[in-house]
Amino acid sequence: MVSKRPHTRKPAALSGAFAPGDPVRVAKRPVLGHCRTPWYLRGKPGVVAAVYGRFRNPEQLAYHKPGLPALVLYKVRFAQGDLWGRYAGPAGDHLEADIYEHWLEPIT
């Protein structure tokens, strides 16, 4: 049976260290040069919402390098209340961001 939800399938080429539903934390580290992980998410806990597949590393592509090996890219969901010190919106509000695997750490 063919799944109609490719993001939840896990063929070998797509699979990474994390699966949808896994709790993760964005690494809290400084970076020199181009990087797509925003500062306000660093060190924050979230949950993997989807696995997009493998993509060339933008941190290397930015310097005209091949960006290989390709990295697994995830959609990660964060509770707004975890991101901002004084979030005034409803408790269920969340934010989703695309984060590459090398920026994610498991929460055990």
Partner 1 sequence: MGRDGAEGNQQMSEPERKNMLRQGAKGRAVHDIGGLEFGPIDRSEHDLALWEKRTDAMLILLRDNKRRVLSVDAHRRMIESYGEQEYDRTTYYEKWLRSVRNLLVEQDVLTREEIEAKMAEVRAKHAKAGRKAAKETVPW
* Residues in touch with partner 1 (CB under 8 A): 30, 33-36, 38-40, 58-59, 61-64, 67, 83-84
CB of 32 to partner 1, least distance (A): 9
Question: Shortest distance, CB of residue 22 to partner 1, whole angstroms?
Answer: 24
Nearer to partner 1 (CB atom), residue 61 or residue 79: 61
DSSP-derived letter for residue 39 is G
What six digits make up the tokens of 30?
């400084």
CB of 60 to partner 1, least distance (A): 8
Residue ranges of the alpha helices (H) in the chain? 58-61, 80-83
Q: Under 8 Å CB-to-CB from 57, ≥6 apart: which residues?
A: 67, 68, 69, 70, 71, 100, 102
